[in-house]
Amino acid sequence: GAGVSQSPSNKVTEKGKDVELRCDPISGHTALYWYRQSLGQGLEFLIYFQGNSAPDKSGLPSDRFSAERTGGSVSTLTIQRTQQEDSAVYLCASSLRQSVDTQYFGPGTRLTVL
Amino acid sequence: LAKTTQPISMDSYEGQEVNITCSHNNIATNDYITWYQQFPSQGPRFIIQGYKTKVTNEVASLFIPADRKSSTLSLPRVSLSDTAVYYCLVQASGTYKYIFGTGTRLKVLA
């Protein structure tokens, strides 16, 4: 069956531009998560959706970051006015429900800000 | 929040048992502990999950002492393909945050 997919796989952008990263979760999974992984670093939790709702957005690094989810499926992570420190791999995961369910990760989007 | 701490790296030889410990002193009553494996350029992959005592599946065992302030992932008879980064995850109960450990880079040598 299809796993979590993310697009684009790679994105190179110039400082100050806006970018949109997309995540398609596993069909039927109600919970969706975004993480950021800088080069050689661990996973930094950004935001979690239960359905279309994000109960806590405090993990987003700054107000330049926003995320939405529509139809309980696809999610987009938007970074406005990108900075070089935003360069990282952005990982999306989904799980059947929230709580302690196994998270299935996508391959990630590698973002490079020049 | 249940902050987690893991050793940065470990080396082992093929066929040996490897134990990786994660410390989570502030774990909450309802938190579970989950371990993930990550290969380069891939997303993490679920290995095992537990709440207390011992859990075993076809690839690993997870030992959690009674106070639950730490957990140990045990990989029996590792092979070269087990070279990866291993993360423990503790859900911060009631806060909708997912705190991964710093990760342990395991290198299996021939």
Picking from B43, B91, B97, the nearest residue to A91 by CB comes out as: B43
> What's the rounded Cα separation, in Å, for the pair A23 and A32?
9
Average pLDDT, chain A: 93
The count of residues in chain A is 114
List average pLDDT for each run of 10 residues in chain B, which is 110 residues long.
Answer: 85 97 89 93 93 94 95 96 95 73 93
Share of chain A above pLDDT 90, in %: 82
Q: Chains A, B: CB contacts under 8 A, how many? A: 54
* Interface-testing mutation among A24, A29, A43, A49, with chain B (most B C-beta atoms within 10 A): A43
Residue A66 near chain B (CB below 8 Å): no
What residue type is A30 in one-letter code? T
A34-73 burial code (b ≥16 CB/10 A, e <16): bbbbeeeebbbbbbbbbeeebeeeebbeeeebebebeebb
Tens of pLDDT, residue by residue over A10-43, are 999 999 999 999 999 999 999 999 999 998 888 9
Q: Is residue B81 classed as helix, strand or coil in its secondary structure?
A: helix
SS3 content of chain B, % helix, strand, coil (to 5): 5, 50, 45
